[in-house]
Amino acid sequence: MSERHRLVVGNWKMHETAGQAENLARAVLAALPPLDARAHSEVVLAPPFTALAAVHAVVADSVVALGAQNMHWGESGAYTGEISAPMLLDLGVRYVILGHSERRRYFHESDEEINRKVRAALSHGLMPIVAVGETADERDTGMTDARVVAQTSAALDGVEPANLARLALAYEPVWAIGTGRNCPPAEADRVMGCIRGTLPGLEHTRILYGGSVTPANFASYLACENCDGGLIGGASLDANAFVQLAILALAA
Ligand code: PEP
């Protein structure tokens, strides 16, 4: 039996104005049954930066924690358009998604930049959720394992072993994100095992699956040895679907 507590994270991406996000967060809280504090399982909502304050006002003092979708590694400075860890902490943020494939693909984030962000987040007391995953081409050419291991070891370079339990990894096959083509659970479990084997100490790190998760398929991932929860995109924009996912994770 794993000692790792379940984690379910809703990544709202570039959706919802502050007012819409506030309503969505209220709907999630209203539908969520009381969580057993002894379970220490966590539910996180990650709205866009512009809605963090509004969502914080709703989830503060609840079992739901606040997450951000990105951050810069610096504390402050001449980085127009960027947001730092102290700014996130000031808004009540506890988790930050780093290295999402959309950031890697559309904003050309490198493994080195992601590593700087991971170390900065940890040094400020934020909990990074680091996404790794192969593209369809990499899978088709047999590169899946090498790709996720390389991304994981680069992202965690220089991270103190004691900090490995303070972060989470998310296995998100790029071809499964937002496509409705989820990775078969047994294969996802195999790859998550590969990710876990990248470094000693990762046996205490939560690994989430992400990629077209729905209430209909999530239980099959949660049943996997290496899966400790989910990073949810599309289904997190529907309060009822997201709460169903949270309930499945908490019950598993
Ligand atoms: C994601 O964006 O991290 C994600 C997993 O999206 P979706 O659930 O929509 O595939």
> Average pLDDT for residues 196-211, to the nearest whole number?
96
Q: Check whether 243 has a pLDDT greater than 50.
A: yes
pTM score, whole prediction? 0.96
Quote the pLDDT of residue 41. Answer: 74
Quote the pLDDT of residue 1. Answer: 37
Q: Are the C-beta atoms of 154 and 111 separated by less than 8 Å?
A: yes
Please choose from 11, 106, 209, 244 the residue to mutate so as to test ligand 1's pocket, defined by most ligand atoms within 8 A of CB. Answer: 11
Query: What are the structural domains, with CATH classification, of the chain?
Result: 6-251 (3.20.20.70)
Give per-residue pLDDT as tens, 159-174: 999 999 999 999 999 9
pLDDT band at 251 (very low <50, low <70, confident <90, very high): confident
Quote the pLDDT of residue 39. Answer: 61
pLDDT band at 250 (very low <50, low <70, confident <90, very high): confident
pLDDT band at 187 (very low <50, low <70, confident <90, very high): very high
Please choose from 171, 213, 242 the residue to mutate so as to test ligand 1's pocket, defined by most ligand atoms within 8 A of CB. Answer: 213
**Would you say the CB of residue 173 lies under 6 angstroms from ligand 1?**
no
Residue 114: what residue type?
A: I
